[in-house]
Structure 1
Amino acid sequence: MTEQTQQTEQAQQTRQLPPDVIAQLKALDPAVSPELAQATWALLTPFHEKAGYTAPKIDRDLRYGDDPRHRLDVHTAGNGQAGAPVFVFVHGGGFVRGDKHVPGTPQYDLVGAWAVRHGWVGVTMTYRLAPEHTWPSGAQDVAAAVRWLRAHIAGYGGDPDKIVVAGNSAGAMHVASFAAGQGAAGPADPVGPGGIAGAALLSGIYEIGAPRPGEPEHAYYGPNPGPEVSPLPGLLRTTVPLLFSVAERDPGLFQEAAARLVGKWLDRHGTVPDLVWVEGHNHMSTIGSLTVDEAALGVPLARFVERVTGWPR
């Protein structure tokens, strides 16, 4: 670990939420719901407003494909940097909603600002939504965004060989699907998981069963998904470095998914995966913890990015 990395970590670790705010987050009903989202962001937004949640320069709504949802924002320091790691964030939303940018809120410019604070280029992206677009459209959109970034990100100061893609919730499942090799546009598609330096899967589910009608997964995977839609077998085979996380207050479904992942990873590799337990946080506040409660997820996530990209040089 370089002296610069140590100094960065020491500075980031001082950014912590007050104990009473953590207690309030823990007291919220962990069920994923609009009420949880509203209450969580109400608690976190004042801290992001104080810290600042926008990068010095944001190039918005760059097209990476033909669909109206094929848009991404590039967050930079605006200082002419070159060769920096590129941190891409794929939002959640139960496969049917969500956006890379909600005006007047930290969602999800805070992720781009967090990346820029570390000296990287940040990217936030949208993708096609269910029920109009079903599996594997999410993985295909991640692949299309990576394809665009590899062709264009050097013009924004990023290194196309140092792309790390992260997703939360449904976004984690799309990134997992891409990392498992399910996003290729066709047999000759040159951009697959080998086109990235690493992937971070935050509060995802990696084995897909038959969802009940009305569940978000039903709209995306259909009523009777086959085993081919589950990314876990591909994740166990991939050579792409992976980081996983589960929040302390994630619902049981996500806790169980993390436990099954650990068991199957151990069976395959004889060790456990790189797994972060995000202390004090829920399904919504995992991403919201970046910058304002940095030790929970930000420190291990930044360490992962630096390890797989060889940054700082």
Structure 2
Amino acid sequence: MLVDESLSALRQLDWRITPETTTAHHALLAPLLGMKEYLAPVVHRDLPYGADARQRLDVHTAPDAADRPVLVFVHGGGFVAGDKTLPGSPFYDHIGGWASRHQLVAVTMTYRLAPEHRWPAGAQDVADAVAWIHEHIAEHGGDPDRIVLMGHSAGGAHVAGYLAGQAGTPMTGVASAVLMSAFFDPAPVQDQPTIRAYFGDDSDRYRLQSTVTGLVECELPLLIATAERDLPACHRQATTLLDAMLTGERTHPLFMTIPDHTHLSEIYSLGLDEEAFGGILARFVGRTCR
């Protein structure tokens, strides 16, 4: 758990995403992870799940792993940036270490970026990574029939697209999904350049591209999370989805606000502030992968 001094410092950080605030988040949280054994015992790097140079994944496991549930993490980056590892930092290798400590195998993946690759490329890349997992993850100690998808921000939008059927492939082996500060409907945020970079400028297509209806119809257990000090658009997206789910007949998802955290710190702090989110995530994975 974060020490009191660090948590106090976190509350002073600006919630908005700029190069300066990103650097400040790294400066605060990276050293804390560096004091821990944040890496999984074994990491297999840059395994291709497709032909594009961006279609690569890392597998985080342990020498004695066998038939463990698989946590798949899809990073954010506003649809136009981001990677499965951030050079010179523990991010996002720390997710693999967290997973290993909880008797999971983790897969962290990159995907093709906008504007070169537009909707539904992200959902298709998630589908291709899942297909790779079905074929190969048993070699690394994972169970291909117990997959938990976890996407943050734009990565959450890509996971949501896959769950909503936008990849055009059947969904098999997925036990549950975690959607953190994700975007579900491009229409309310169409003024953002990165949204248009991925979804395009044709607002008449936004209803087709929305994942709200598909997620309402999705029968998988879902954990939907935002940070207390998140981007306002993320709060609005999450409540829009929740409202649609409550209007329909879908089982109520696990829905939470991660206290004290920002859009960045909610994922950077996994393994540090377990009281805020990590413990709930571990319980969710455990009960959906029995």
Q: Assess same fold via TM > 0.5.
A: yes
**Pair 1:239-2:219 in alignment:** yes
CA displacement at 1:194 relative to structure 2: 3.6
Identity %: 47
CA displacement at 1:30 relative to structure 2: 1.4
Conservation of the 8 A alpha-carbon contact between 2:145 and 2:172? no
Conservation of the 8 A alpha-carbon contact between 1:213 and 1:223? no
Which runs of 5 or more residues in structure 2 are unaligned? none
TM-score (normalised: structure 2): 0.95
Match of 2:111 in 1: 127
Deviates more, 1:100-109 or 1:89-98: 100-109
Which of the residues 253, 263, 269 maps onto 2:233?
253
Q: Give the alignment of 1:17-28 within 5 angstroms.
A: 17-28=2-13
Match of 1:92 in 2: 76
CA displacement at 1:28 relative to structure 2: 2.0
Structure-2 separation of matches of 1:207 and 1:28: 28
TM-score (normalised: structure 1): 0.88
Match of 2:285 in 1: 305
Structure-1 separation of matches of 2:187 and 2:264: 23
* 1:94-146 alpha-carbon deviations (Å, 9 max, x no partner): 00111101233111100011100001101100000001000000000000000
Conservation of the 8 A alpha-carbon contact between 1:85 and 1:309? yes
* 1:28-54 alpha-carbon deviations (Å, 9 max, x no partner): 221222222111111101110011221
Structure-2 separation of matches of 1:149 and 1:157: 11
Specify whether residues 162 and 271 from structure 1 end up closer, same or farther in structure 2 by C-alpha distance, changes over 3 A only.
closer
Structure-1 separation of matches of 2:109 and 2:239: 29
Which of the residues 93, 98, 116 maps onto 1:114?
98
**Aligned partner of 2:202: which letter?**
N
**Pair 1:69-2:54 in alignment:** yes
Structure-1 separation of matches of 2:214 and 2:130: 19
Conservation of the 8 A alpha-carbon contact between 2:71 and 2:107? yes
- For the residue of structure 1 that corresponds to 2:112, the secondary structure is coil
* 1:50-87 alpha-carbon deviations (Å, 9 max, x no partner): 112211110000010000001000001122x2110000
**Aligned partner of 1:205: which letter?**
F
Which of the residues 193, 204, 224 maps onto 2:202?
224
Aligned residues: 288
Which runs of 5 or more residues in structure 1 are unaligned? 1-15
- For the residue of structure 1 that corresponds to 2:187, the secondary structure is coil
Structure-2 separation of matches of 1:69 and 1:164: 22
CA displacement at 1:212 relative to structure 2: 4.8
Deviates more, 1:24-33 or 1:140-149: 24-33
Which of the residues 44, 57, 60 maps onto 2:42?
57
Q: Please tell me the root mean square deviation across aligned C-alpha atoms, in Å.
A: 1.5
